[in-house]
Structure 1
Amino acid sequence: MDYLVTVVSDRIKAEEAYTALEKGGVPTSQISILGRGYKTADEFGLIDPAEQAKKRAALMAIWLVPFGFAGGYMFDLITGVNSFDWAGEPWNHVLGGLAGAVGGAMGSVFVGGGVGLSAGSGDALPYRNRLNAGKYLVVVEGATSLKNKATSILRPLNPENIQGYTDSSV
């Protein structure tokens, strides 16, 4: 499935683009307008980068927290540092393991969440930012030939941005 995403500055231009596509023979079932008064980014299916970052952080925590616990426990056992001297012999190692688990949790939040927020969103974040700025997206989904036809119809309207995508997972 191919997508053509066109960014226009206001509602009137979005409706003008929709009408031009309709007159050009593009089926209305394959045209979507995103923006105020139309579909939202979530309704259309643009991924939310914050949600993806939370998922990635949770996934990393599954293995980082136990690894951190084991690393903290072993470090305390091998070095004999007694970071928690008041806890006594066996509990000192356990508390070292818990400190390692906290470090693993922090790593999953900072690396999994932070990197996921900045890199895991692809082009969805810039499109969401444009929608938040009051702009509109006109999206045509269909075969490559339909995307090419829509491109030739929309170019004369001078949109702010026009970009095609191919979804290989379909």
Structure 2
Amino acid sequence: MNYLVAVLSDRIQAEEAYSALERAGLPLAQVAILGRGYQSADEYGLIDPKEEAWKQVRRMAYWVIPFGFGAGATFSVLTGLNTFAWAGEVGNHIVGGLLGAVAGAMGSFFVGGGVGAGLGSGDALPYRNRLSAGKYLIVVKGSADLTRKATPILRACNPENLQGYADPTA
């Protein structure tokens, strides 16, 4: 599946681009307008990268934190280190497990995408920001031939930005 996304400055320009695609005979079921008065980013399915990153962090934490606890406790038992004398022998193993769990939490955050959630990443966020700024998006979704046919039509409408994407999961 391929996508072609055009960013247009106002509603009139977006409607003109949509009409031009209609006149060219493109299937309108594969063309969408996103913006005020039309579909929102959520309705269209434009994912929020921060939300997806936090989901991934939680999924990883579900497995990595208990594994980290087990690994930390096992390491403490195998090495016999008495790092925390105040905790006693069993307490040392529990503290080792807790430190392993903390390491697992850090790993799920950094590897799972928490940094991307904090800093923002992906192309969906700039498109969401443009929609928030009152811009409009025309999205053509379909085969490579369809997006190739739509490209010169949308380019003639002088969009602020015109970007094509190929869905790697398809």
Which category of TM-score, normalised to the shorter sequence, fits these structures? 0.7 to 0.9
Question: RMSD across aligned C-alpha pairs, in angstroms?
Answer: 2.4
SS in structure 1 at match of 2:156: helix
Tell me the SS of whatever aligns to 2:165: strand
Question: Normalized against structure 1, the TM-score is what?
Answer: 0.84
Q: Map residues 1-170 of structure 1 onto 2, 5 A cutoff.
A: 1-77=1-77, 78-83=79-84, 85-117=85-117, 122-170=122-170
Unaligned regions of 5+ residues in structure 1, if any? Answer: none
Comparing 121-130 with 7-16, which one deviates more in the overlay?
A: 121-130
| Matched positions, count | 169
- Give, in whole Å, the separation in 2 of the partners of 1:168 and 1:111: 21
Cα pair 1:4 1:162 within 8 Å, conserved: yes
Matching residue's letter, 1:24:
A
| 1:153 shift after superposition | 1.2
Tell me how far 1:130 sits from its aligned partner. Answer: 1.7
Q: Which stretch of structure 1 is more off in the superposition, 149-158 or 67-76?
A: 67-76
Change (3 A) 1:28 1:120: same
The alpha-carbon deviation at position 41 of structure 1 amounts to 1.2
Q: 1:2 to 1:66 in 2, by over 3 A?
A: same
Q: Secondary structure of 1:157's partner?
A: coil
- Deviation track 1:6-38 (CA, whole Å, cap 9, x = no partner) reads 011121211111111112222222210111221
Residues 150, 117 of structure 1: CA spacing in aligned structure 2 closer, same or farther, 3 A cutoff?
same
User: Would the aligned equivalents of 1:48 and 1:121 in 2 still touch at CA under 8 Å?
Assistant: no
Aligned-pair distance for 1:146?
2.1
Using a 3 Å threshold, how does the CA distance of structure 1 residues 121 and 47 change in structure 2: closer, same or farther? Answer: farther
Deviating 4+ runs (over 3 angstroms): 74-77, 118-122
The share of aligned pairs that are identical, in percent, is: 62
Contact 2:109/2:115 (<8 A) preserved: no
Give the partner amino acid of 2:125: L
Of 155-164 and 124-133, more deviation after overlay is shown by 124-133
Structure 1 66/120 Cα, relative in aligned 2: closer, same or farther at 3 Å? farther
Shift of residue 119 of structure 1?
Answer: 9.3
Question: Helix, strand or coil for the counterpart of 2:140?
Answer: strand
